[in-house]
Chain A
């Protein structure tokens, strides 16, 4: 066990066994595709093969004639059972210039390849897919918008036939007098950047099973979603049903990484179909569908400028971000907003002005993927700092050190606000020291000698670094209830949703710390709308912060109740009692005590008898601790690369990641979260590319074409920890689920540029495939 950041703690802060592992390791976990119900029908969707087309007609007769086929549902079939034929899910923002709410199923126009048009229900998925191929859709192909920059040019075709332009949203995030800062600045640096991020590619794709229980008039939907409560509310709204008539449950979820927080057309179709047909209905997304129907992050084009003084101190940053929004607003403008918010965050930037234009394209809608725009914002800032360092003759670490928000200015109130209007106040941390830790471990100072030695052997190695600050723990709350059952077992329910981040372990640890330290006595239910009345779910690295602190508060209240009731029953002072395992006992005289079961039964009460203690009936408490302000985590990555100038191949030789996420509830899980994020960041830097051709036809639709990092691409990674507890919550924790991914692309770019500095190569794009790199080399040497 590692040393704990929580003094005197027995469970939290320690590397205890995960409660999730026992079932998963035996292959008896229950993922959505593992759910089988008698009489279940299987769905295959008819999806658009065109990026943009008018639908002239849909003829299902060929499919309906097939044995084993039960129904073909189009929007016309579903509409009578819906309060709205569109998914109105856009987060509020004054920046929208048009509303692009996507339809439950496309009926007059399709706007991206993969958009669902009809659902075929059959006895098996095999039959449903056979039949889907026989649904005859008559298309009239329309002009296509394949590129977000071209989309905003005058005269561009529009992604939606009836739209007057492709501008979906525009806004400017700004503070200070940027014009004056630039007018007075002795140095200005400009970069034009293209940053591409691909999809989430959780190993489990999306999936749904729905069954309507006619006795209770209740529809149960098992969904591999990150946000069961949001899905529940949206299903109730669109189906016009009461809260009790629908239950959404997340079974084991095989990874989320962002897109599973979205509410999708398939969610509605499967739920309605189960009621309409009176049979359980299952739809499991296949990988190819995941490429064309699950939301992604894709292209951002940045044109940015940095102004500094002679010492390299930042005076201002300004620019324009053109963002590929995709065909519909499936979440909002939070990806470009997150990118622009992240860009200056680690540094003292006195004046800032970034304009955002989100452009509609005929591609899958864009919504957050792990990191949610922040890797792009960090990339833009770090590229500018590298170019300033080069021009001013400063070491790249030194220019950053001069600009990082210094520890003595914490808490540091930036002039920015979050998307919800909450002031951005950097609450704690020592960013320069964190950077120094990473530099020291990576031997930044000794690198020049290593580089020269390599150069003498004809090898090109380089080192790069990048810093990030990440807003974590987005509020306002998460629900957690803690109850000691009459059996003495402890039941915890939450609106938080698990998708592999050890949420159940995290909550069990926090509750066990207060209630006997026996994690095996605790059962945690995540992501079930019948078990938790309220909830927000998994996004924004928020659940340890929000659910963790609610669990902490609820467990403390239950503990007080246990001690109060037991003190009455045992006729001793509550302060002399302790809870150990499933017993409440007298400190120093362990044989004197009661089981939790005895206390719980007494506290449950009996008609006509008074309750033990003054704390009221039952041993239960629920909490929704409200924390609006985000806690800001930070970190620094140093990456060493070797570039083969003959093949363009880039090998990462070493990676050091120093970070601060406040206190660590479970150090090994924190490392695991970071390592997964780092791997994802390496993928984004070097391999992952969601390619479309000029007709917006996706051309990477298998995992053989879209490359994920494998074991052989992982470099040696060293993770270093600082612990600056945030004052914003009782546990002093910050989120960590996305941190790993954020600085990697920027650090790799810095290192590659450094390796090839003798050629004058400038890295202004990600990812960098070998072909891309050879292109940059040729351009630099031409």
Chain B
């Protein structure tokens, strides 16, 4: 067992975990933040995408111990004072979610990308978004929503 500490959406956590415990299980089961979902556990679908020190990562492919000392952000941390993040608003406005299972992963992927590359090109944006899977929407509304939010978030 290992003792680790990290922050999740700004709040400090100390956990004792087995070395094999995945980060997504720690986030969901130990921290109770079930907004991050598990779609494959083999690093392909992106439903488990979170931000680790600002970088989008697949939390099913990381062990919890690797998060020791790091800052994690998940979908639960997107709202500010009860107001939705522009990306969350844009997903609703563009009907970019149906079942909503893939949505937190797409949101965190997009937040991570737009924070680093606010004026990303259309082509590069579609390319980045192709790293996550959605079975419901056919993607076009997701791409539109992220594009709209990018414009709103642009400095």
Contacts and interface: CB of A to CB of B under 8 A. Distances in A.
A27 B35 contact: yes
B136 A703 contact: no
Contacts of A205: 39
Given A202-B99, A204-B99, A711-B129, A676 B37 contact: no
Of the listed residues A202, A675, A679, A711, the one surrounded by the most CB atoms of chain B closer than 10 A to its CB is A711
B60 to A, nearest CB: 10
Interface in A250-305: 252-255, 257, 284, 286-288
B138 A676 contact: yes
Contact of B99 (A36, A286, A499): A499
Q: How extensive is the interface on chain B, given as a class?
A: 35 or more
Interface string A181-209: 00000000000000000001111110000
A672 interface: yes
B140 A203 contact: no
B34 A33 contact: yes
A708 to B, nearest CB: 5
Contact of B38 (A33, A252, A673, A740): A33
19 contacts: A24-B103, A25-B103, A201-B135, A202-B135, A203-B45, A203-B135, A205-B39, A252-B100, A252-B101, A254-B102, A257-B135, A288-B42, A502-B98, A672-B138, A679-B138, A710-B132, A711-B126, A711-B129, A711-B139
Interface string A670-714: 011101111110000000000000000000001110001111111
B98 A672 contact: yes
Interface stretch (B51-59, B63-71, B73-81, B112-120): B73-81
B150 interface: no
Given A27-B36, A500-B136, A704-B44, A676 B98 contact: yes
A405 interface: no
Contacts of A472: none
Given A126-B18, A668-B95, A24 B100 contact: yes
B39 A203 contact: yes
Contacts of A119: none
Interface string A30-48: 1101101000000000000
B8 interface: no
Nearest to B128: A711
A601 B40 CA distance: 50
A388 B131 CA distance: 42
Contact of A500 (B18, B75, B100, B107): B100
B153 interface: no
Of the listed residues B45, B133, B141, the one surrounded by the most CB atoms of chain A closer than 10 A to its CB is B133
Contacts of B126: 711-712
Contact of B104 (A27, A287, A713, A717): A27
A545 B91 CA distance: 27
A672 B130 CA distance: 18
A21 interface: yes
Contact of B133 (A668, A703, A740): A703
A29 interface: yes
Nearest to B21: A126
Given A676-B98, A680-B135, A34 B34 contact: yes
B44 A703 contact: yes
Interface in B1-58: 18, 20-21, 28-29, 32-45, 47
B72 interface: no
Contacts, number: 170
A18 interface: yes
Contacts of B37: 31, 33, 203-204, 254
Contacts of A704: 42-44
A30 B43 CA distance: 23
Interface string A52-76: 0000000000000000000000000
Interface residues of A, number: 58
Contacts of A740: 138
Interface string A294-318: 0000000000000000000000000
Contacts of B43: 704
Contacts of B42: 287-288, 702-704
A714 B41 CA distance: 25
Contacts of B131: 710
B101 A711 contact: no
B44 A675 contact: no
Given A252-B101, A702-B44, A708-B133, 14 more contacts: A25-B92, A33-B37, A201-B135, A203-B99, A205-B39, A254-B99, A255-B101, A672-B141, A673-B98, A675-B140, A678-B138, A708-B135, A710-B131, A714-B140
Contacts of B47: 203
A445 interface: no
Contacts of A772: none
B111 interface: no
B100 A254 contact: yes
Contacts of A25: 84, 88, 91-92, 97, 100, 103, 107
A720 to B, nearest CB: 16
A669 B92 CA distance: 12
B143 interface: yes
Q: Which 10 A-B pairs have the closest CB atoms?
A: A27-B35, A500-B99, A254-B101, A24-B100, A27-B75, A675-B138, A679-B138, A710-B130, A703-B44, A34-B34
A712 B140 CA distance: 10
Given A675-B140, A708-B135, A501 B20 contact: no
Contacts of A123: none
A703 B104 CA distance: 19
A683 to B, nearest CB: 9
B149 interface: no
A742 to B, nearest CB: 15
Contacts of B95: 18, 668-669, 671-672
A29 B44 contact: no
Given A27-B36, A204-B101, A255 B20 contact: no
Contact of A286 (B18, B41, B44): B41
Contacts of B138: 672, 675-679, 709, 714, 717, 740
A267 to B, nearest CB: 20
Contacts of A21: 91-92, 97, 100
Of the listed residues A204, A257, A678, A680, the one surrounded by the most CB atoms of chain B closer than 10 A to its CB is A204
B102 A500 contact: no
B35 A28 contact: yes
A682 B104 CA distance: 25
B40 A26 contact: no
Contacts of A126: 18, 20-21
Nearest to A678: B138
A676 B127 contact: no
A714 B126 CA distance: 10
A553 to B, nearest CB: 27
A24 to B, nearest CB: 3
B39 A204 contact: yes
Contacts of B132: 710
Contacts of B139: 679, 709-711, 714
A20 B98 CA distance: 9
A700 to B, nearest CB: 12
A254 B136 CA distance: 9
A180 interface: no
Of the listed residues B41, B45, B136, the one surrounded by the most CB atoms of chain A closer than 10 A to its CB is B136
Given A710-B130, A712-B127, A714-B140, A29 B100 contact: yes
Nearest to B39: A203
Of the listed residues A203, A257, A703, the one surrounded by the most CB atoms of chain B closer than 10 A to its CB is A203
B44 A203 contact: no
Contacts of A712: 126-127, 130
A79 interface: no
B50 to A, nearest CB: 11
B111 to A, nearest CB: 13
Given A710-B139, A717-B140, A203 B101 contact: yes
Contacts of A673: 98
A17 interface: yes
Nearest to A22: B92
B75 A26 contact: yes
